[in-house]
Structure 1
Amino acid sequence: MTTRLGTLHYVIDHIYGALMHRTRITPPFFSRGWGGPNLELLERMAKQLFPMYLEGHNCPPPPLVRPVWRTVWETKTARLREGVFQTPCDDELTAALPPESRTARVAWLVPKDVPPQKMSCVVHLAELVAMLYAGMPCLVAYVILIYGIADNVLAFPFYGRRRPFLQRGARLLCVSDLLLLGRATIEESRSLIHWLDVEEGFGKMGVCGLSMGGVHASMVGSLHPTPVATLPFLSPHSAVVAFCEGILKYGTAWEALREELAAQKITMTLDEVRERMRTVLSLTDVTRFPVPKNPEAVIFVAATDDGYIPKHSVLELQKAWPGSEVRWVRGGHVSSFILHNDEFRKAIVDGLDRVDWKESW
């Protein structure tokens, strides 16, 4: 029975993937190519940063942001506010972002009548599952209301109200957009955590995310200068796995990428194009990032029958971060998101429990 259920979950992923990625309902990823100068900029920046990581240097401290807030609703026990702030990326990266993506948007759900010094706070990196209002994920809301954990839901660049005008839905137009999205998300998350820590005075901090959000949560936890609980859910160690090995490879515009290279007088087979994609997306390999300050507070939640994320990918990152924990849930990528919210919530609570309260408190 267990094997049959595992197969069913895997099949559900592939049926969903076929509808989303093999039909003409939505355009494929990267239909406008590699990204030209933007891709060159991001590759250059990554090549400057990785040697620092390998030599053990700390990532520069994040700039402090000050979001502007407005109250959306409040009850006797909780308050939801929406905030905006300009992305703290440097001038080159900000110029590379589409105008619609340069303003960060965050939803802050916090229990009332509890001093921040006595409260934990988690930054939740949101893709399609959290769009600031009714889209606040039940995962987060439940954690806050039941366990008294404040939460900031940060919307990705290129998604929701930060989506570029020419982009349809979630389908990024260029390969460089994926790297830009990641770099901006990392800088915005680190700055937001810094603000919550220094200005608001929360007693302990964490960062979580699901799927692509989980990859970025791993990066943020790795690069943040102070210990934070790091909680990646249903996420790979690299975008290579998602776009070159998992179901998303069927939703990638390989022919358009090959044709762009041909226009530059670079002749490649489709297999060679896929290999070039692997090289580019290796910049997202989290195993090349530093081990987080508190690896015992890293909890991965992974699915046994995930059609998008193979098991080996999760285990590679666990191996790179000794002391981290992997928790397995029975299901696929789609079904686990629906069925296993309790496990995600428990990981958030347990991860935060493994972070010490600030010494000042």
Structure 2
Amino acid sequence: MPVSRLDVIYRKILLTKLFTKGWGSPENLQRLFDIRQVISNRETCYKLVPKDYPISIINKTVHSDCRIIEGKFTSPFAVHLHGLVPDEVKESYFQMVLPLKWPSAHKPICIHLAGTGDHYFWRRRNVMAKPLLKAGIGAIILENPYYGIRKPTDQTRSSVHYVTDIFVMGGCLILECIVLLNWCEQVGFGPLGVTGISMGGHVSMKHQIKIIYEPYHVYAKIITM
């Protein structure tokens, strides 16, 4: 099929473009290929994240329709790959949206991963998390690496500079989800799930494949666009 002239014109007038600085250094690519061999194996992947990985709770608020807990922790991917993860991306931030009262003895939680361009928490909190509260399902909204609070200062919108940034993003999210699933299990939440739309659906699918611990009962809902 020939390239549409309209497509060519539209692409040229876009204000933001991806991968404007290329692939990234060969050294970084090699390090990512090496860690990929570890993450792609279930057993070695989970060994990268201790069960008691530290999480800091930085704020708690009660609203008319929910409770919100905000927390942060250092991304394990940044710990294992020194110098590869930008400073702004190293700290992982999340919001936990909980019902005012659990309707049963179960306390189900679903981690919501961001779609392309979904910066900060408000969209997923209002469109995805709060409607689930009516069914007694809580949510964890994880800020995407290179997005929102974690966006490098020299980056415009969602336009990452290097192809390697996408690999770093995926690696961060997989290990960060493991941190949050471990933490939820320890504090008594469950069953647990991982979901996402578009890019978030792709990452949740990759993460679901990594699940090996039966107590999690993790489910992945993938909606790609």
TM-score by length of 1: 0.54
- Aligned partners of 1:59 and 1:224 also within 8 Å: no
Structure showing greater radius of gyration is: 1
- The answer as to 2:204 corresponding to 1:217 is yes
- Aligned partners of 2:112 and 2:124 also within 8 Å: no
Aligned amino acid, residue 196 of structure 2:
G
- The answer as to 2:46 corresponding to 1:60 is yes
- Aligned partners of 2:55 and 2:71 also within 8 Å: no
Aligned counterparts, 1:199-218, within 5 A? 200-218=187-205
Kindly state the Cα deviation for residue 66 of structure 1 after the two structures are TM-superposed.
Answer: 1.8
- The answer as to 2:36 corresponding to 1:46 is yes
Aligned counterparts, 1:266-305, within 5 A? none
Q: Deviations over 1:159-209 (max 9, x none)?
A: 1110111111101100000000000011001110110111x2113100001
- Aligned partners of 2:57 and 2:69 also within 8 Å: no
Aligned counterparts, 1:315-354, within 5 A? 333=225
Kindly state the Cα deviation for residue 72 of structure 1 after the two structures are TM-superposed.
Answer: 4.5
Q: Aligned pair in 2 of structure 1 residues 94, 149: CA closer, same or farther (>3 Å)?
A: farther
Q: Aligned pair in 2 of structure 1 residues 223, 129: CA closer, same or farther (>3 Å)?
A: same
Q: Deviations over 1:16-53 (max 9, x none)?
A: x959x714332321110111122221012224554x46
The CA distance in 2 between the partners of 1:116 and 1:156, in whole Å, is 31
Q: Which moved more, 1:187-196 or 1:91-100?
A: 91-100
2:76 to 63, 79, 88: 88
Q: What is the percentage of aligned positions where both structures have the same residue?
A: 24
Unaligned runs of 5+ in 2: none
TM-score by length of 2: 0.83
Q: Which residue of 1 aligns with 2:102?
A: 114
Q: Which residue of 2 aligns with 1:286?
A: none
The CA distance in 1 between the partners of 2:103 and 2:28, in whole Å, is 44
Aligned counterparts, 1:122-141, within 5 A? 122-127=110-115, 128-129=117-118, 131-133=120-122, 136-141=125-130
- Aligned partners of 2:38 and 2:44 also within 8 Å: no
Aligned counterparts, 1:155-234, within 5 A? 155-198=143-186, 200-226=187-213, 227-234=217-224
Task: Give the alignment's Cα RMSD to 1 decimal.
Answer: 2.7
SS in 1 for 2:95: strand
Unaligned runs of 5+ in 1: 1-13, 235-332, 334-361
SS in 2 for 1:232: strand
- Aligned partners of 2:46 and 2:178 also within 8 Å: no
Kindly state the Cα deviation for residue 216 of structure 1 after the two structures are TM-superposed.
Answer: 1.0
Kindly state the Cα deviation for residue 131 of structure 1 after the two structures are TM-superposed.
Answer: 1.4
- Aligned partners of 1:32 and 1:173 also within 8 Å: yes
- Aligned partners of 1:116 and 1:203 also within 8 Å: no
The CA distance in 2 between the partners of 1:120 and 1:82, in whole Å, is 18
Q: Deviations over 1:307-329 (max 9, x none)?
A: xxxxxxxxxxxxxxxxxxxxxxx
Q: Which residue of 2 aligns with 1:31?
A: 20
Structure 1 segments, 4+ long, off by >6 Å, are: none
Aligned residues: 213
Q: Deviations over 1:284-321 (max 9, x none)?
A: xxxxxxxxxxxxxxxxxxxxxxxxxxxxxxxxxxxxxx
- Aligned partners of 1:218 and 1:232 also within 8 Å: yes
